[in-house]
Structure 1
């Protein structure tokens, strides 16, 4: 008999979980228990126990091995040798090739950020080095509508080099731009002959609490030489906007769109289920066709049913019928800032339709994560209905990678990123206006659709090379997370 309980993974507003012990994921191996300790190892014990059960690479980390400790005393002494929980997590428990797992000292902050709620001024930007120095410059990529930045004299394509009069460097940019300060003043800059120079212009920006970004920045249908082309600039996979996304596709259908340009150049990912819904809106609603399959570590994989491990294309959002364009091809704009759920859509659609990738090699994140807290009676899985069951003496939350997604033909190996069919990066001297037919990446996609070369010169004079961006410096980062009932195979 199949049994169910609700697994809260990654978002703060999911349905409650049943806590019946019969419905819990179990650790098939006997795990050690700490004995009387001389220092507080509560956090370290939680981290080890949770990671030993859930971590995708548990078998590859020596210190997480099931036979690592022969006695409870040995286990206790091991935990006591690490006084700082943060360094214990990052330096001891992570697999060397893991680029994405992270911990947060306050799980409530982690959960809030995963739901898309944050403190923000609405400015999204990339950061790059100035020449071979440690000095840093920023450039505006886009601005959230109805944000503080949207009311200020600043727009896409502008540059800045200073915050509160201090030159940005690789050592101070996190503090100055992403610290606890609720406001800051940007010192703007100009670019001439590929040289960045400070200007006198300053822009004061204020962070607003509980800001939620609408991920649908642009949804419009373009008429290009008689062809109706839907253009969707989609900047994060947030399940709270699934109905809005479906409504956008209803508009595309009403306007007679026969082609789609999906712009995910700045989309770092998010909800796996939302990626499934978007793929269905693009391709179709045949619920017998596999979208993706999950692969967990051996401990977890054997406890999950085939039905749970397989995601099919959807015919409903859960509330409304899917509005699908039933396309045989899609043009995707994706860059190095495109990750996780963005790449998942591309990989999941690839066996069924032509996915024409325009831009740059993507980030290469094919693993998903879950949110873990110190609640052993719920298999350490965060559940909003169990706040009173979480150890009050340990506020740490973990967001480790626990599995990867494979498409219907088993392909998953894109940790080096998905390579574009048509390579074209953004040009800092000509970023253009998003959604305008003359914006270079959109223009290149339209050229491919119409077959008309036009007079565009796609030479990139000053490549938009970044080492990070505003989206990757938030707690939401480039996470890809699950949010569906966990179905056990027993």
Structure 2
């Protein structure tokens, strides 16, 4: 996202005179403008939410309460803000379009922005959750362990199964409270698989969530030499721009090793930074700064204000730190993606598709083709969050919202994948044989190697216990499966009063 977007906030309804310079329209300011008694509830948060959504929200014209013509007087607007005292309900019930699956809020913007940087409170076990056939009982299976976490010191690894917490069997009604509740420490009741049957065991693993755990999204890289091919493999679990330099270094190692083919593992990657997606795609395809990677499409009110040059992002030749990109210059790439692959992961697949042969192995992806921005109560910065302006954020409002504000089209103008991107080669993960990540016998990687080399793999790709996912641990983090734009050098916004009291 570029700085031009912010200047357009002047088109929105800011119900405050041009002489006002405070960060938000707090309750006291409403009283001064309208001349009515102090409202019974503080609507600072609701006002911040409405102003932002009215300006940026992708479906702004489809939500009656967000229309520019919704309120004829400032008193009517204030009454609307007071109609729901709980800001979370106000956001969910009054501001969201019915088809919106992904916009969300946070009561603590600091916790949210730390999550985008890969910092969270976690015990280090990343897991998927599924339902047993014909039952409401839930099982969990370990996908991977975050290095340097509490779990990395415990007897738990990829492929392990658990069916209970603290002696209570997991089911569809209690798994959220037991696994994602207020308790930082819990004990997993482990199970095992034998003859394609899951059975409880006496084994227990006690885990403790630690604050400020940093996960490097570059979970694993390796070079495999098979049948005369040098195959680079990278498991990338989140588009975190704080690790863009390390990502570039990884591709530098691939390049130095003479990698001829690449397997990009996004099977557990729920998304993140659009800019990181652009950089990764450039590392794969090339530093073609004259070729379109994506075209942004905003709501009707904002779209008409932009020219084509302002809406287009091209492939890159350097990182944000001006480090030259290491690129493999491939004409074909193998991407492992599943139903847990979302947003920026899908953006890479879609963005590369016009230029090279993308072989998608796995399952149909999530289908999140919209991007978002983090907004906080910083009026003079267009309510756009900037880490350099934390002292400017309204101290009486620590809320943040992460609404969907647009869609990214590829160079061919395609963005219609709300039902997900369908794989070229369908292959589910097998609970009875998850395999070791990065090992040539791990089923999804083995399938990619077989496609690359043109040889028949020795292993059987039949899936005995397919994973039928209902959720995963990443969906209970602050960032979930979000795709966000990076707004740099935002311009101060101009207020505009259009309603008469």
TM-score range, shorter chain: over 0.9
Alignment of 1:419-430 (within 5 A): 419-430=422-433
Q: Match for 1:250 among 252, 256, 260? A: 252
Q: Match for 1:102 among 101, 104, 125? A: 104
For 1:429 and 1:274, locate their aligned partners in 2 and report how far apart those are by CA, in whole Å.
Answer: 34
Q: CA deviation at 1:182?
A: 2.2
Q: Match for 2:265 among 263, 284, 296? A: 263
Q: Residue 330 in 1 paired to residue 333 in 2? A: yes
Task: Indicate the residue corresponding to 2:368 in structure 1.
Answer: 365
Q: Residue 26 in 1 paired to residue 9 in 2? A: yes
Task: Indicate the residue corresponding to 2:57 in structure 1.
Answer: 55
More deviation in 211-220 or 29-38? Answer: 29-38
Corresponding residue SS for 1:26:
helix
Alignment of 1:311-460 (within 5 A): 311-318=313-320, 319-460=322-463
Please tell me whether the aligned partners of residues 271 and 341 of structure 2 are also in contact (alpha carbons under 8 angstroms): yes
Alignment of 1:180-195 (within 5 A): 180-195=182-197
Please tell me whether the aligned partners of residues 13 and 51 of structure 2 are also in contact (alpha carbons under 8 angstroms): no
Q: CA deviation at 1:473?
A: 1.1
Task: Indicate the residue corresponding to 2:95 in structure 1.
Answer: 93
Please tell me whether the aligned partners of residues 25 and 300 of structure 1 are also in contact (alpha carbons under 8 angstroms): yes
Please tell me whether the aligned partners of residues 122 and 144 of structure 1 are also in contact (alpha carbons under 8 angstroms): yes
Q: CA deviation at 1:261?
A: 0.6
Q: Match for 1:165 among 159, 164, 167? A: 167
For 1:270 and 1:259, locate their aligned partners in 2 and report how far apart those are by CA, in whole Å.
Answer: 25
Q: Residue 237 in 1 paired to residue 246 in 2? A: no
Deviations 1:130-169 (A, max 9, x none): 2333321100011112222111111111100111222222
Deviations 1:433-470 (A, max 9, x none): 11111111111111111111133211111111111101
Q: CA deviation at 1:29?
A: 4.6
Please tell me whether the aligned partners of residues 305 and 487 of structure 1 are also in contact (alpha carbons under 8 angstroms): no
Q: Match for 1:478 among 472, 476, 481? A: 481
Please tell me whether the aligned partners of residues 375 and 382 of structure 1 are also in contact (alpha carbons under 8 angstroms): yes
Q: Residue 149 in 1 paired to residue 151 in 2? A: yes
More deviation in 408-417 or 35-44? Answer: 35-44
For 2:139 and 2:176, locate their aligned partners in 1 and report how far apart those are by CA, in whole Å.
Answer: 13
Please tell me whether the aligned partners of residues 270 and 340 of structure 1 are also in contact (alpha carbons under 8 angstroms): yes
Q: CA deviation at 1:346?
A: 0.6
Q: CA deviation at 1:405?
A: 0.5
Please tell me whether the aligned partners of residues 382 and 490 of structure 2 are also in contact (alpha carbons under 8 angstroms): no
Please tell me whether the aligned partners of residues 370 and 483 of structure 2 are also in contact (alpha carbons under 8 angstroms): yes
Q: How many residues align?
A: 471
Q: CA deviation at 1:77?
A: 1.9
Please tell me whether the aligned partners of residues 363 and 416 of structure 1 are also in contact (alpha carbons under 8 angstroms): yes
Please tell me whether the aligned partners of residues 187 and 206 of structure 2 are also in contact (alpha carbons under 8 angstroms): yes
Task: Indicate the residue corresponding to 2:211 in structure 1.
Answer: 209
Q: 1:458 to 1:85 in 2, by over 3 A?
A: same
Corresponding residue SS for 1:25:
helix
TM-score, reference length from structure 2: 0.90
Task: Indicate the residue corresponding to 1:64 in structure 2.
Answer: 66
For 1:265 and 1:388, locate their aligned partners in 2 and report how far apart those are by CA, in whole Å.
Answer: 38
Q: 1:111 to 1:487 in 2, by over 3 A?
A: closer
Q: CA deviation at 1:27?
A: 3.7
More deviation in 189-198 or 474-483? Answer: 189-198
Task: Indicate the residue corresponding to 1:12 in structure 2.
Answer: none
For 2:453 and 2:201, locate their aligned partners in 1 and report how far apart those are by CA, in whole Å.
Answer: 41
Please tell me whether the aligned partners of residues 118 and 209 of structure 1 are also in contact (alpha carbons under 8 angstroms): yes
Q: CA deviation at 1:97?
A: 0.8
In structure 2, list runs of 5 or more residues that go unmatched. 17-29, 492-501
Corresponding residue SS for 2:432:
coil
What RMSD over aligned residues (CA atoms) do the two structures have, in Å?
A: 1.9
Corresponding residue SS for 1:418:
coil
Task: Indicate the residue corresponding to 1:16 in structure 2.
Answer: none
Q: 1:484 to 1:83 in 2, by over 3 A?
A: closer
For 1:132 and 1:232, locate their aligned partners in 2 and report how far apart those are by CA, in whole Å.
Answer: 37
Please tell me whether the aligned partners of residues 116 and 476 of structure 1 are also in contact (alpha carbons under 8 angstroms): no
Please tell me whether the aligned partners of residues 264 and 338 of structure 1 are also in contact (alpha carbons under 8 angstroms): yes
Q: 1:316 to 1:53 in 2, by over 3 A?
A: same
Task: Indicate the residue corresponding to 1:287 in structure 2.
Answer: 289
Task: Indicate the residue corresponding to 2:275 in structure 1.
Answer: 273
More deviation in 169-178 or 208-217? Answer: 169-178
Please tell me whether the aligned partners of residues 308 and 487 of structure 1 are also in contact (alpha carbons under 8 angstroms): no
